[in-house]
Amino acid sequence: MESPEKYQEWKFWPVILLALLYPINGALIGTAIPLYFFREGVSLEFIGILLAGSAATYSFSPVLFNKLSDRLGRKKSLTIGMGGTLLTQLIFYITLDPVPFLLSRMAEGLIIGFYWSNLQSSISDNSLHNHRMMMARYNISWNAGLLIGLLLGTIFLFIIDDLLIIFYISPLIIIVNVLTIIFFFQDPEKIDLKKGVSFRNSNSTETKGDNLKFTEYNIPLLIPILFIFIFSLARASVNLLYPLRSEMLGFGAYSVYLLIFFCIAFQLIGTSLANYVSFKKMKWVSVLCIGLLILVFIGFGRVFQFWIFFLLFIMSGLFNGLLYGFGLKLFINLNMQKNTSKYASLCESLIGTTFFLVPVMCGFIARIDIGLAFNVMSLIIGLFFIVSLVSMKLFNKLD
């Protein structure tokens, strides 16, 4: 009998590094956009569109490129994604005028459709991988990347207070990512679920334990969609609305990076914990997180004290992290159950769609009142809280 270890010899650390580096770039740029263009006198509606620029095309690009990625393989797809991103971000060295900037961000959102879903699918391609361990480290990596990006932004702006430096430094990180893919990333060997279960039943290895326990559960597609949508809605709205509110309250640009840093720190804790929450406990934990997020957004719309914003960011990060961790775990499990990579692409497209629609909507509402925009977001989360209560009845263990 062949040993499962033969099929588990795959270098995972390049995935960890790739998941770390690109979010550093994204955190630097994403937080700088509303601050920089608000100071340039751009209207709030158009700032929302600028922030949503990459998400506009990313809303469909992972699904659009899904089959092509499967044919090309993970390494070639990742190379295209990062190489194209590098080209689009070179525009920052030429101009930061709103229209060219928007076009470059839209081009980046299109080409990055080759990136995240292929990173995630490289984990699910082989059902013998230790998915709990890999997903935990993957989630730690991209959250850590956001933390590093926000910390760098805090330091740069505290010392220099010139947002231009953010746009000049961030593309350099993409160069490191491209080199990592070319020289170190490996395509994983594909082992479908049927063969993986066969190994599980015939070998007394870790594959026999919790690693494939999800096969015992019916996973309705609505549930991970719900988790990822609420996570994306909460993140996308705060990413636009709080920097604008901070500028109006005179808190200082570096403090925005600092608060979001703590938010992501607790998001990292949440995504890490999500990997160790059982399928049975996931039901009530997720519903509790959604309910508490409603209160968090009501708070965002009504307070003005910096220390209260600090507490709200911590709470938001923890609840968002748990919801994202649950959603991604279920999408990856669906990938393996159906022997496909389309659910990872669906997950990323859902994030892109939400990150596109929400900032645009919030930009128009914020023109009336930023507090009103936070209240509208809390109402939307409340509606999906009701949906979550009903949908959890569909998530049951198979007979």
Summarised one tens digit per residue, pLDDT across range 353-399 is 998 889 889 888 988 888 899 999 999 999 999 988 888 777 666 54
Measured CA distances, 281 to 58, 248, 269, 288, 385 (Å): 32, 42, 17, 11, 17
Asked if residues 69 and 118 have their Cβ atoms less than 8 Å apart, the reply is: yes
More confident residue, 90 or 332: 90
Q: Which one-letter amino acid corresponds to residue 275?
A: N
- Of the candidates 377, 376, 380, the residue with the CA atom closest to the CA atom of residue 388: 380
Considering the chain, what is the average pLDDT of its residues? 85
Calpha distance 277→281 (Å, rounded):
6
Give yes or no for residue 317 having a pLDDT over 70.
Answer: yes
Q: Which one-letter amino acid corresponds to residue 310?
A: F
The secondary structure of 356-380 as a DSSP string is: HHHHHHHHHHHHH-HHHHHHHHHHH
Q: What is the pLDDT confidence band of residue 206, given thresholds at 50, 70 and 90?
A: very low
The tens digit of pLDDT for each residue in 257-291 reads 888 889 989 998 998 888 888 777 888 899 999 99
More confident residue, 162 or 213: 162
Residue 3 lies in a domain: no
The tens digit of pLDDT for each residue in 79-93 reads 999 999 999 999 999
Measured CA distances, 171 to 82, 92, 99, 162 (Å): 11, 8, 19, 17
Task: Specify the number of domains making up the chain.
Answer: 1
- Name 397's Cβ contacts closer than 8 Å, sequence gap at least 6: 216, 217, 218, 279, 280
Asked if residues 241 and 234 have their Cβ atoms less than 8 Å apart, the reply is: no
Asked if residues 10 and 188 have their Cβ atoms less than 8 Å apart, the reply is: yes
Give yes or no for residue 7 having a pLDDT over 50.
Answer: no
pLDDT at 202: 58
Residue 5 lies in a domain: no
Calpha distance 107→54 (Å, rounded):
7
Asked if residues 21 and 176 have their Cβ atoms less than 8 Å apart, the reply is: yes
Residue 72 lies in a domain: yes
The tens digit of pLDDT for each residue in 94-103 reads 999 999 999 9
The token pair that represents 158 in the structure block:
């505290």
Q: What is the pLDDT confidence band of residue 17, given thresholds at 50, 70 and 90?
A: very high
Asked if residues 215 and 197 have their Cβ atoms less than 8 Å apart, the reply is: yes
Give yes or no for residue 209 having a pLDDT over 70.
Answer: no
Residue 275: which CATH number? Answer: 1.20.1250.20
The tens digit of pLDDT for each residue in 141-188 reads 988 998 899 889 888 888 887 889 999 999 999 999 999 999 999 888
Calpha distance 92→100 (Å, rounded):
9
Residue 215 lies in a domain: yes
Domain extent, residue 89, equals 10-389
pTM: 0.75
Q: What is the pLDDT confidence band of residue 6, given thresholds at 50, 70 and 90?
A: very low
The tens digit of pLDDT for each residue in 108-135 reads 999 999 999 899 888 877 766 777 788 8
* Residues forming a β-bridge with 126: 191
Q: What is the pLDDT confidence band of residue 316, given thresholds at 50, 70 and 90?
A: very high
- Name the phi and psi angles at 397, rounded to 5: -75, 140
Calpha distance 260→309 (Å, rounded):
10
Measured CA distances, 264 to 81, 132, 251, 349 (Å): 25, 21, 19, 21
The DSSP 8-state label assigned to residue 41 in this structure reads T
Cβ count near 76 (within 10 Å): 16
pLDDT at 207: 45
Residue 24 lies in a domain: yes
Residue 4 lies in a domain: no
Give yes or no for residue 208 having a pLDDT over 60.
Answer: no
| Range with the poorest average pLDDT among 73-87, 186-200, 215-229 | 186-200
**Percent of all residues in the chain with a pLDDT value above 70, rounded to a whole number:** 89
Asked if residues 172 and 90 have their Cβ atoms less than 8 Å apart, the reply is: no
Q: Which one-letter amino acid corresponds to residue 200?
A: R
CA 326 from chain centre, in angstroms, equals 13
Residue 1 lies in a domain: no
Q: What is the pLDDT confidence band of residue 217, given thresholds at 50, 70 and 90?
A: low
**Percent of all residues in the chain with a pLDDT value above 90, rounded to a whole number:** 43
Task: Give the relative orientation of helices 98-111 and 44-51 as an angle to the nearest 10 degrees.
Answer: 30
Residue 201 lies in a domain: yes
Give yes or no for residue 191 having a pLDDT over 80.
Answer: no
The token pair that represents 239 in the structure block:
């990413």
The token pair that represents 88 in the structure block:
């689009």
